[in-house]
Structure 1
Amino acid sequence: MEAKYCMTCGSAMELRDVDGTPRSACTACSFVHWGNYSVGVGALVVKEDKVLLVRRAQEPGKGYWTTPGGYIEQNELIHETICREVLEETGVEAVVKSLVAVRDQPSRIHNVYIAFSMEYVSGEPTPDQFEVDAAGFYSLEEMATMNVAGFTKWLVKVALDSQEDGLKMDEQPIIPLNGYGLFRI
């Protein structure tokens, strides 16, 4: 979708060259529409060598088994988003261990997907019956007979085969930056 009116003042937008790229810019103020982006998160929660998966009840991916996840809220830190999404979709409480993978998918709406390795805390998988209609912990052997999404197969392989710990949350940065989610090697 193209921005037709300014989100700041409501005036008409026009196509203008901004730093060598055609962008929608306001005809009355300095607002520039930089594009359409979405940021999604996914959870790799492992318990007893089994991975938490959900079966999507809605598009995108209806009927496919995927890792729990969703899109970040405007004023929510990404690591808080994934904890919330896992709990909402499955009833499982988990905490972030590390960041293990990133998918970059340029399109009409540029999508970035960040996958976290998470530590199981408590709860039995119970689908929310809205976004997901089934949930459980599954072994690689069980997944082989399931309708697992291709990207999810890749994520599970990356997470289980990795010899690295991924990027860890920096809980005590040497320079405190309140309101930031910081991850580092």
Structure 2
Amino acid sequence: MSINFCTECGHAMVVRTMDGVERRACTNCTYVHWGSYSIGVGALVIKDDKVLLVRRAQEPGKGNWTNPGGYIEQLEPIEQTVVREVLEESGVETRVKGIIALRDQPRSSVHNLYVAFEMDYISGEPIPDGVEVDAAGFYSLEDMQTMKVASFTQWLIDAALNGKGAGLMHDREPIVPTNGNGFFRVL
């Protein structure tokens, strides 16, 4: 789908070559449509050597067991997003421990970046939301051998359990003001 009108001022958009790439640019103001992007988040919650999984009740991936997750809202800090998604899909309360993996998925329609967080379990028993997921629970690696676990979730579990190091951690005391930004680094 082509962007025909500026989302800032409503004027017509034209194609301009910028940095060697054709982009849609406004004929009136400085707005440039740089592309379409989405940011997804996922949680790996481990309790008593078992991983929290939910079964997708909708496409994509209907019927597959996955880690809980979803998409970030425009003004929502990413740490709040992943905590909210886990709670919405499973009823389990969690806290971010660190970032353990990223998936970069460039596509012609929407370029997706997926950020996977290792989460600390706080409380709650898994209860599916009945809309996005129809089952939820903590499962051992042995349990998962007979379940239809999505391949990407299998990779994330491996990254969490067999990764080297602590991953990216939230820098709660950066040397500069954050101005509301979330800074993550190896600590």
Instruction: Give 1:125's aligned residue.
Output: 126
Aligned counterpart, 2:152? 151
Q: Give the AA of the match of 1:14.
A: V
Q: Distance in 2 between matches of 1:174 and 1:133?
A: 45
Question: Deviations 1:111-166 (Å, cap 9, x if unpaired)?
Answer: 00000000000000000001111100001111111111110000001101123111
Structure 1 residue 23, shift from structure 2 partner = 0.3
Using the size of structure 1 for normalisation, the TM-score is 0.97
Q: Which residue of 2 aligns with 1:174?
A: 175
SS at the partner of 2:164?
A: coil
* Amino acid paired to 2:93: E
Choose 23-32 or 170-179, whichever is displaced more. 170-179
| Per-residue Cα deviation, 1:49-105 (whole angstroms, up to 9, x for no partner) | 000001111111111111000000000111110001000110000000010000000
Matched letter for residue 168 of structure 1 = M
Task: Output the amino acid matched with 2:15.
Answer: L
**Runs of 5+ unmatched residues, structure 2:** none
Tell me if 1:64 matches 2:64.
yes
Identity between Structure 1 and Structure 2 (%)? 63
- After superposition, the C-alpha distances for 1:160-181 in whole angstroms (9 at most, x for unaligned) are 1123111111112222313111
Matches within 5 A, 1:57-96: 57-96=57-96
**Gapped runs of 5+ residues in structure 1?**
none
The residue aligned with 2:166 is 165
Aligned partner of 2:20 in structure 1 is: 20
Aligned counterparts of 2:47 and 2:164: Cα–Cα separation in 1: 18
Across the two proteins, how many residue pairs are aligned to each other? 185
Q: Specify the alignment match of 1:140 in structure 2.
A: 141
Residue of structure 2 in register with 1:32 after alignment: 32
Return the alpha-carbon distance in structure 1 between the equivalents of residues 127 and 84 of structure 2. Answer: 14
Instruction: Report runs of 4+ in structure 1 exceeding 6 Å deviation.
Output: none
